[in-house]
Amino acid sequence: MKPEVLQLSPILIPEVRATLNQLFTLHLYYEQADKAAFLREVGGNIRGVITGGHTGITQAVMAQLPKLEVVAVNGVGTDAVDLAYARDRGIHVTATIGALTEDVADLAIGLLISACRGLCTSDRYVRAGHWPASATPLAPLPLARQFSGMRIGIVGMGRVGRAVATRAAAFGCPISYTDLQAMSDVPYTFVADLKALARGSDALILAAAADKAEGLIDAHVLAALGSEGYLVNVARGKLVNEPDLVAALQTGTIAGAALDVFVDEPRVPEALFGLETVVLQPHRASATVQTRTRMGEMVVASLVDAFAGKQPKNCVTG
Ligand code: 8YV
């Protein structure tokens, strides 16, 4: 009998879906209207879970899966999984560590360039046919902010933070960072205090894990970033106090923001929709065919190893 797997979020690569269907009996939880009834029906037989980084899995759902052996996160963040509970029950939790680093860093740089060069505003301007006309709400377009040479402050000097730094350095950007401690193996300037980092940066890029850093970017940090400063978030929405960010953008406390992640996805504060200083993405940092294929293959490998009684690679529960 094939092992039974509960899938909490979709896998978008057809080849990976085909392999999963070949090896396992998949139960598509994310498609169910009555999720509680579905869990009561299939929960007793589930040995594995596939979920996304943002979706994770609650303790309440795991508690209804008595035979659960492994939670394979199709992502790198495990902040939405109750790891302590999983460890207590001996459930492996795996992540696609290293698979999405380059894509997330690419998007961080792309978003910052979009925000400070006004790419989305200019795109809307051309599409709306405003270019040939003169007296339009968007014309003349304001001059943009140069990206090359911007002082970049990175929050979290892990894999993604380092990949962002390498890219920004190639654009002649001085790099500073904050983390729990200075890192001896990076050539960038460590600033212990987040407000001081914000004060000395033209753009703050968030690349930190969100496990213990909820609301890290608040009104004080945004005030320190200042009216010429930009915020980029490719990590987790909950790192930011969202009402403080909306207010900072509305009042011009900061110059702009580029956001791939939000507190309550897929809900985005509507106040942001009318602001030309903001670039918005629907949590797409790892959404390339190449990266999602690698991630999917890692998810398959985690399930196969766990069901064979082996410790899966990239296990974060030890
Ligand atoms: C993933 C993420 O793309 O890696 C993570 O933690 O949040 C995303 O980048 C997402 O988990 C895909 O399901």
125 & 242 share domain: yes
Q: Is the residue at 221 inside a domain?
A: yes
What φ, ψ does residue 238 adopt, rounded to 5°? -70, -5
261 & 152 share domain: yes
Q: Is the residue at 259 inside a domain?
A: yes
Residue in the block written with tokens 């508690």: 63
Task: Tell me if residue 27 is catalytic.
Answer: no
Q: Is the residue at 314 inside a domain?
A: no
Quick one: pLDDT at residue 213?
86
Quick one: pLDDT at residue 134?
63
The one-digit pLDDT tens for each residue of the chain (318 residues) are 999 999 999 999 999 999 999 999 999 999 999 999 999 999 999 999 999 999 999 999 999 999 999 999 999 999 999 999 999 999 999 999 999 999 999 999 999 999 999 999 999 999 988 888 766 555 678 899 999 999 999 999 999 999 999 999 999 999 999 999 999 999 999 999 999 999 999 999 999 998 878 999 999 999 999 999 999 999 999 999 999 999 999 999 999 999 999 999 999 999 999 999 999 999 999 999 999 999 999 999 999 999 999 999 999 998
124 & 151 share domain: yes
Contact present, 62 and 91 (Cβ < 8 Å): yes
In the reported structure, the alpha carbon of residue 51 is separated from the centroid of ligand 1 by a whole-number distance in angstroms of: 9
Atom in ligand 1 nearest the alpha carbon of residue 287:
3
93 has which bridge partners?
A: 71
Q: Is the residue at 313 inside a domain?
A: no
Q: Which residues line ligand 1 (CB under 6 A)?
A: 9, 52-54, 74-77, 100, 285-286
The enclosing H or E element of 206 equals strand 203-206
Distance (Å, rounded) from C-alpha 317 to C-alpha 70?
10
Q: Is the residue at 125 inside a domain?
A: yes
Distance (Å, rounded) from C-alpha 283 to C-alpha 286?
8
Task: Tell me if residue 17 is catalytic.
Answer: no
Give nearest CA residue, ligand 1 atom 3: 286
Quick one: pLDDT at residue 139?
63
92 & 105 share domain: no
Give nearest CA residue, ligand 1 atom 13: 52
Quick one: pLDDT at residue 137?
59
Pocket perturbation via mutation, ligand 1, pick of 51, 261, 286 by most ligand atoms within 8 A of CB: 286
Map residue 47 onto helix, strand or coil: strand
255 & 163 share domain: yes
59 & 207 share domain: no
Contact present, 236 and 287 (Cβ < 8 Å): no
217 & 86 share domain: no
Distance (Å, rounded) from C-alpha 278 to C-alpha 112?
10
Tell me the chain's radius of gyration from C-alpha atoms.
21
In the reported structure, the alpha carbon of residue 130 is separated from the centroid of ligand 1 by a whole-number distance in angstroms of: 37
| Count of the separate structural domains present in the chain | 2
38 & 126 share domain: no
Pocket perturbation via mutation, ligand 1, pick of 55, 100, 234, 292 by most ligand atoms within 8 A of CB: 100
Task: Tell me if residue 15 is catalytic.
Answer: no
205 & 297 share domain: no
What φ, ψ does residue 219 adopt, rounded to 5°? -55, -35
Q: Is the residue at 318 inside a domain?
A: no
In the reported structure, the alpha carbon of residue 75 is separated from the centroid of ligand 1 by a whole-number distance in angstroms of: 4
23 & 78 share domain: yes
113 & 165 share domain: yes
69 & 110 share domain: no
Residue 234: which CATH number?
3.40.50.720
Contact present, 209 and 158 (Cβ < 8 Å): yes
The range of the structural domain enclosing residue 95 comes to 4-99+290-307
Q: Is the residue at 50 inside a domain?
A: yes
Q: Is the residue at 185 inside a domain?
A: yes
